[in-house]
Amino acid sequence: MMKYRDEFAREDLAEAFSRIIKDIGLTENINLMEVCGTHTHSIAKYGIRDMLPPNIRLLSGPGCPVCVTPNLFIDQLTVLAEMPGVIITTFGDMVRVPGSFSSLQETKGRGADVRICYSPDDAVRIAEENPDKKVVFAGVGFETTAPGVAAAIIDAGEKNLSNFFVLAGFKTLPNALRALAQMPDLNLNGLICPGHLSVVTGTSIYREMAEVFKIPCVISGFEALDILETIRLLLLQISEGRAEVENGYSRVVRDEGNPKAMAILGEVFRETDSVWRGIGNISSSGLVLNEKYSRFDALNLINVNIPAPVEPSFCICGQILTGVKTPADCPGFGKACTPDNPAGACMVSSEGACAAWYRFGRNIE
Ligand code: SF4
């Protein structure tokens, strides 16, 4: 039994897995999608595409939080950043994401107070230290990160902070999966399901994909062997005509998830329709502050009309996030768009498909 991280990255075992996958013998074209930016990065880093037969395609999905956050959210953040007396606090990647008119980094260059923090608790601390300022935390991510932000909001409430706010752009996965399954051109044959997110949600959120849409689902860890084993399990399901939810990451993910984390989400947030870059508006796929905690909502601070968001004309990030196109299809890739000078969100985060392609080249389709 493999217990340690190094064992999940052993090259000899990876080669053995690769042979086992080939021996399953599927000859038709198979599209497997990884629904997690960390998987996108790991697949590129470990060269997993090169280990697979050419008929097995790995598609990147909408699992990179920075990538799926639409330009409107960035535009709202930059408007807030330019307001007098406002401090923006955010995870590092968000600073470089280009909005319609500016990135936070550019806004900071013009004098705005934009600070990178490593947890939402840092933002609460900054609010305590700066009682004469309004401190806004940029809340992006999935069920994985939202509970930590919910806990910070509760903490701010218990401390009676009136200068802490969250701009909530959280996404939730189940309805986005349904939207993907219903996309006519995608032809998904299997899902590599996100391990971190499943730690919180549990395994039941994938049941609809397997039972209704007949798409095999396997929850996966992030090392090379985790992903290869997941691919093997998916191909076995396909070859045997099964569509089930399997937990390939049972050393971390429990079927019931983390009920405490889900409860704290329910305490602070309510579901709302949400716009995903590349997919558009999906009903009940986002989280915003509920009535009890609405005083912490940073949208309350915005009192100007924000122009309709615009995207760079050549950026096909949205189609990459739905597996329809690859970074190679973008005319700006590596030219007008690089990690040092990103034109689109998928080139910013290490979890973005374009950034992974740029860094690891041949290992991304
Ligand atoms: S390379 Fe840049 S411009 Fe092209 S799709 Fe990716 S993020 Fe968008």
CATH number of the domain enclosing 148: 3.40.50.11740
Provide mean pLDDT across the span 45-60.
88
- For ligand 1, the distance from its centroid to the CA atom of residue 43, given in whole angstroms, is 19
Taking the CA of residue 346 as reference, the ligand 1 atom at the shortest distance is 7
Taking the CA of residue 314 as reference, the ligand 1 atom at the shortest distance is 3
In a domain, 275, yes or no: yes
SS3 276: strand
Q: Are 193 and 222 in contact (CB under 8 A)?
A: no
In a domain, 289, yes or no: yes
Q: How far is it, in rounded angstroms, from Cα 120 to Cα 187? A: 38
pLDDT 10s digits, 335-351: 999 999 999 999 998 88
Over the chain, what is the mean pLDDT?
Answer: 91
In a domain, 242, yes or no: no
Q: What is the pLDDT of residue 363?
A: 42
Taking the CA of residue 353 as reference, the ligand 1 atom at the shortest distance is 6
- Ligand 1 pocket (Cβ < 6 Å) reads 312, 314-317, 320, 327, 330, 332-333, 337, 343-344, 346-347, 354
Least confident of 47-51, 91-95, 259-263, 289-293: 47-51
Q: How far is it, in rounded angstroms, from Cα 77 to Cα 114? A: 10
CA R_g for the chain: 21
In a domain, 26, yes or no: no
Q: What is the pLDDT of residue 19?
A: 79
Taking the CA of residue 342 as reference, the ligand 1 atom at the shortest distance is 2
User: At residue 4, does pLDDT exceed 60?
Assistant: no
Residue closest via CA to ligand 1's atom 3 equals 315
In a domain, 39, yes or no: no
Q: What separation in angstroms does the CA of 17 have from each of 122, 195, 228, 364? A: 43, 20, 6, 19
Q: How far is it, in rounded angstroms, from Cα 21 to Cα 53? A: 8
In a domain, 43, yes or no: no
Residue closest via CA to ligand 1's atom 7 equals 344
Domain of 132? 66-173+257-301
Please, what is the Cα angle at 35 between 276 and 287, to 5 degrees? 40
User: At residue 211, does pLDDT exceed 50?
Assistant: yes
pLDDT 10s digits, 224-283: 889 999 999 999 999 999 999 999 999 999 999 999 999 999 999 999 999 998 788 999
In a domain, 78, yes or no: yes
Residue closest via CA to ligand 1's atom 1 equals 333
Q: What is the pLDDT of residue 21?
A: 80
- For ligand 1, the distance from its centroid to the CA atom of residue 324, given in whole angstroms, is 14
State the DSSP string of 291-302. GGGGGGBGGGG-
Q: How far is it, in rounded angstroms, from Cα 151 to Cα 121? A: 9
In a domain, 268, yes or no: yes
In this prediction, residue 185 has a pLDDT band, given cuts at 50, 70 and 90, of confident
* Bridge pairing between strands 164-171 and 56-60: unpaired
Q: What separation in angstroms does the CA of 332 have from each of 92, 312, 319, 335? A: 24, 10, 14, 5
Domain count, the chain: 1
